[in-house]
Structure 1
Amino acid sequence: MVRRSRYLWHSLSPWLMGTWRISWTQLSLWIGSGLCLRILIIFMQCTNHRQSTFWMKCIVEIHCGGPQHLVVRKNESECMILSSACHGDVKCAAILFQLIDVGFFVCFDAFLSLLTIMPTRILIKLWRFLTARQFKRLSAAELCDFGCFLVLACGVILLGQTDISLIYHMIRGQGTIKLYMIYNVLEIIDKLCQSFGGDVFETLFNSAEGLATCSQENMKFWIRRFVSDQALAMAFSILHSFILLAQAIALSTCIVAHNNALFALLVSNNFAEIKSNVFKRFSKDNIHNLAYADSVERFHISAFLLFVLAQNILEAQGPWFESFLFNAFVVFFCEMLIDIIKHSFLAKFNGIKPIEYSEFLEGLCKQTLNMQTEDSKKNLTFVPLAPACVVIRVLTPVYAAHLPYSPLPWRLFWIIFLISVTYVMLSSLKVMIGMGLQKHATWYVNRCRKRKHHLHFD
């Protein structure tokens, strides 16, 4: 047998060398690599399945000259874990949608309360003072109302002196990269103002409560403290109003531009937001605050789009409404998509389960119902004064442009009429949103109470 194999080899070797022109070196390399491949495959069959699959794929790619599709059958437990993870991501996204939407309407309700309920209480207090003609010490709520009204009035007056067209052309003259940097800087300052604003107005409200309940001996101290806190709140609110106005003008510049500046701004800004949040360790409280910040940010974007709408009503020529709707849809769609991606990565990387977002939503619903929670620091904090200043500043020229040209008494009549109609519309909207929030919050809190693990087994 050995002689026969040697005879075949010596008879075939000259034919291989001559016909196929294969050298001894190439032949030995092929045989050696084949033997090594066979030995490694036998060795990997005795090792871990995942490691052998990886190394087999690498070796086959090296020897075959291209990638090979290796079909590896997963275990049933791995498939169950993967399907449960996908189900958890979908559930997180669904609860996140609901959480941000409810937070948006909570912010909108506070905004409408500032424009409807606060002026009503001030008018009632003034009417009582004029009819009784005797001064009584104001309560803490009344001091807060007068303080907020003073801040709102000063902010609207100062923003009314601002030349929007000048700021618009200054921002429009910048390049796309500079525009992106300007918008990012304004957004960072806006977030800092949001974080600082809650503490400023909480201090003001504490001073108002102390002034309302203090004795005559400490009256001067509390008056000085209230005045200083009022000045600080006024300066802060005016600064925040200017930041929001500049941010709205920057977004309007991107929307009006014809060089796809809006898409460049959205892509760069959203990728920067993803980069600054994903693949980082966040605690449960930080993710809770981040979800609330996304709700406030969505409300601010709505105010910016209202600014763009008002500017189009005043200055646009030709058909513009369809373009505005498309751009508004793009902005909101990108914002929703980025929120989903961001929170999905955060939930997956930090081990946050859907039940955690359900607890966030339950806490927000309890805040809507004015129920006592375990930690009041987890409440949604939103100061609507700065957005209200911007919205009033933007809508005032729209109302002025549609006033009829008539003598002064008739102009005053039309001004009072438009203000009254707007007040009735905002009050009706406030009642509807408030009732909807109350009904939804009651339903969700009762649902969470009935279920043992907060929708974990849905």
Structure 2
Amino acid sequence: MNSIPSESTTPSKAPFLALWDHFKDELLASDSESFEELKRERVINFFGIPWAIEKLMVFGFFICMDSFLYTFTILPLRILLVLYTVTIKFISNFKNEEKRFIHLNISQKSDLLKGVLIILVCISLQSVDAAQMYHSIRGQSVIKLYVIFNVLEIFDKLCCAFGGDILDSLFSKSTLGDKKSASNTNGHLWPISHFCAAYGYILFHTIILFYLAITLNVAINSYSNALLTLLLSNQFIEIKGSVFKRFEKENLFQLSCSDIVERFQLALFLTVITVRNLIELSGSPTSPFSILPTSFIPLFPAMTTLETLLTPVIIVFASELLVDWLKHAFITKFNQIRPSIYNRYIDILSKDLVDGNVQKSENQKKFADSSLMVSRRIGFAALPLACLTIRVASQTVTMISDSIQEKMDTEEPFTIVFTQPSGVWIFCGFAVFVILTFIKLLVGINILGFAHRRYASMERRETEERARAEKLDAQIAKEKENQINNEVLDDPKDNVLGKQKQVITLDNIDRYTLFKSRIP
């Protein structure tokens, strides 16, 4: 007995179309797509990424500069203040013939330990021969230099990740606290072990940064353009390693922090290399032939020697900017994130600056360095960079002194009187210290004022968003009040079209829509 097929199982018949009707449909069909608004916003967001990312980068750059200059300006003054306090207390005890223990608080102990660590690391670095390191790296082939540079970058990131925990544990209350808190951690052996670990970390990390700077110097000063080309290509490999992957807003924040630290270190290395090249070029004898490497190509015909020396620096730094723009532009495009997320990142860093500067109670004082908390968050290692700068600066001063001495030996006696280095170096050092202190205070007060203004507008924006959320759903508003940090990042307005992310299925997926962890 044959069963009658139901409507649901009956196959649909193909519609009959006349040739003329089909021609009219093809002629009058609209070429607009349903996702044209999405595509248009993607294009606008793509070209808006450079401005959005540079605002974050500039703000983070000055935060790193403030924390970096703190080591050379405020920290020595704080150490002198601690030594002055200890001396006054010691003299007072000696006059009164009392044998009371001189008590220091945790911040004073932390300042003294930082000073001792910097001095010990700088003394240890004097045995490191920079010339031998330079020639050993320069003698390597192009492929080996490429491997060396990548290995050093990996070790730099590993040291930043692990070294921050070592320093935080050394300067913590449990390590530098009173005897009661130290009794639970094997007495005085615990701080000593932490101090040795911190010394080993700073020394190792400084040597890694030293090798990085010398490798960059070799690539820039090489007479073969292959090394500089290889260095530039290494930066563009970042696009391949990060673009075709899934990024949440938290991952993008981590990548942005890494780019901030990388850009500050690159700017510091390029500044040191330019200064050293200028000193070496000024001390070389005059010659009708060019002694500059082939990478120092004048961009314009009438360029001075200083402008010519800046040519490879501009090329390297411009390539870094271009790589960051392309990397973040495609990451936000593939992950459907608006450029406004970088304003959220600025809000987070501003909130950390305000929390580190505001004194919450009488018993809880503000941080000595308001950018310390932000430096921890972005993974900026200030102490190793400071030790590297001191080592390079001492070597540069030695080069200048030797150059002056050679000129004094060749000049006539009446000109030697004006170049006696008796008190010149002391005056120059004091002048540099005053200038750096002024720059540090100027940078610090400006970024702190910006952070306070940003934090005030952040509170206003959060209040408005919370009020709108309460009208829609009271329960969601209560959850957002309990999770302020998640509220900053989990804003649907930061997504494309201001909506939740599009659900990717087999019906709407295409080749360049990120579904899992990688675009093939």
User: CA distance change for structure 1 residues 289 and 217 in 2, over 3 Å: closer, same or farther?
Assistant: closer
Tell me which residue corresponds to 1:428. 438
| 1:354 aligned counterpart, secondary structure | coil
Cα deviation for residue 434 of structure 1 reads 0.5
1:332 to 311, 314, 317: 317
| 1:399 aligned counterpart, secondary structure | helix
Q: List gaps (5 residues or longer) in structure 1.
A: 1-38, 54-71
Cα deviation for residue 76 of structure 1 reads 6.9
Post-superposition CA distance 1:320-341 (Å, at most 9, x none): 4223211111111111111111
CA contact 1:111–1:384 (8 Å) conserved in 2? yes
CA contact 1:211–1:223 (8 Å) conserved in 2? no
Tell me which residue corresponds to 1:414. 424
Bigger drift between 356-365 and 444-453 goes to 444-453
Cα deviation for residue 157 of structure 1 reads 1.6
CA contact 1:104–1:296 (8 Å) conserved in 2? yes
Cα deviation for residue 216 of structure 1 reads 8.6
Larger radius of gyration: 1
Tell me which residue corresponds to 2:37. 80
Q: Does 1:442 align with 2:452?
A: yes
| 1:162 aligned counterpart, secondary structure | coil
* In structure 2, distance between residues paired with 1:117 and 1:261: 43
* In structure 1, distance between residues paired with 2:375 and 2:441: 27
* In structure 1, distance between residues paired with 2:17 and 2:162: 64
* In structure 2, distance between residues paired with 1:157 and 1:415: 20
Q: Which amino acid is 2:131 matched to?
A: S
Q: Which amino acid is 2:69 matched to?
A: L
Q: Please report the RMSD computed on the Cα atoms of aligned residues, expressed in angstroms.
A: 3.5
How do residues 339-378 of structure 1 correspond to structure 2 at under 5 angstroms? Answer: 339-370=324-355
* In structure 2, distance between residues paired with 1:276 and 1:359: 25
2:130 to 164, 167, 180: 164
Tell me which residue corresponds to 1:64. none
Tell me which residue corresponds to 2:293. none
CA contact 1:186–1:243 (8 Å) conserved in 2? yes
Tell me which residue corresponds to 1:111. 68
TM-score normalized by the length of structure 2: 0.68
1:312 to 256, 265, 277: 277
| 1:282 aligned counterpart, secondary structure | coil
Cα deviation for residue 126 of structure 1 reads 0.8
* In structure 1, distance between residues paired with 2:232 and 2:188: 50
User: CA distance change for structure 1 residues 377 and 322 in 2, over 3 Å: closer, same or farther?
Assistant: closer
Q: Which amino acid is 1:381 matched to?
A: G
Tell me which residue corresponds to 2:300. none
Q: Does 1:303 align with 2:253?
A: no
User: CA distance change for structure 1 residues 75 and 217 in 2, over 3 Å: closer, same or farther?
Assistant: closer
Cα deviation for residue 215 of structure 1 reads 2.4
Q: List gaps (5 residues or longer) in structure 2.
A: 1-15, 94-100, 287-303, 359-372, 406-415, 466-487, 499-520
| 2:340 aligned counterpart, secondary structure | helix
* In structure 1, distance between residues paired with 2:110 and 2:250: 29
Tell me which residue corresponds to 1:271. 236
* In structure 2, distance between residues paired with 1:201 and 1:433: 25
How do residues 229-244 of structure 1 correspond to structure 2 at under 5 angstroms? Answer: 229-244=194-209
Tell me which residue corresponds to 2:146. 180
How do residues 12-23 of structure 1 correspond to structure 2 at under 5 angstroms? Answer: none
CA contact 2:169–2:175 (8 Å) conserved in 1? no
User: CA distance change for structure 1 residues 415 and 378 in 2, over 3 Å: closer, same or farther?
Assistant: closer
CA contact 1:270–1:338 (8 Å) conserved in 2? yes
* In structure 1, distance between residues paired with 2:177 and 2:215: 43
* In structure 2, distance between residues paired with 1:127 and 1:140: 17
Bigger drift between 415-424 and 233-242 goes to 415-424
Q: Which amino acid is 1:419 matched to?
A: G
Post-superposition CA distance 1:79-109 (Å, at most 9, x none): 4322211222233332211111111111111
Tell me which residue corresponds to 2:59. 102
Q: Which amino acid is 1:423 matched to?
A: F
| 1:215 aligned counterpart, secondary structure | helix
Cα deviation for residue 74 of structure 1 reads 4.0
Q: Which amino acid is 2:81 matched to?
A: I
* In structure 2, distance between residues paired with 1:371 and 1:253: 40
CA contact 2:164–2:376 (8 Å) conserved in 1? no
* In structure 1, distance between residues paired with 2:273 and 2:436: 20
Greater helix fraction, Structure 1 or Structure 2:
1
Post-superposition CA distance 1:136-188 (Å, at most 9, x none): 22211112112211221122122222211111111111122221111111111
User: CA distance change for structure 1 residues 220 and 272 in 2, over 3 Å: closer, same or farther?
Assistant: closer
Q: Which amino acid is 2:377 matched to?
A: N
CA contact 1:197–1:236 (8 Å) conserved in 2? yes
How do residues 77-226 of structure 1 correspond to structure 2 at under 5 angstroms? Answer: 78-133=35-90, 134=93, 135-206=101-172, 208-215=173-180, 218=183, 221-226=186-191
Tell me which residue corresponds to 2:397. 399
Tell me which residue corresponds to 2:484. none
Cα deviation for residue 219 of structure 1 reads 8.4
Q: Which amino acid is 1:86 matched to?
A: V
User: CA distance change for structure 1 residues 82 and 218 in 2, over 3 Å: closer, same or farther?
Assistant: same
Q: Which amino acid is 1:366 matched to?
A: K
CA contact 2:350–2:452 (8 Å) conserved in 1? yes
Q: Which amino acid is 1:426 matched to?
A: L
User: CA distance change for structure 1 residues 288 and 174 in 2, over 3 Å: closer, same or farther?
Assistant: same
CA contact 1:366–1:445 (8 Å) conserved in 2? yes
Post-superposition CA distance 1:344-403 (Å, at most 9, x none): 122122232223222111101112222699x99993232201111111111113223445
Post-superposition CA distance 1:417-458 (Å, at most 9, x none): 222111101100101111121122223333334445699799
Tell me which residue corresponds to 2:502. none
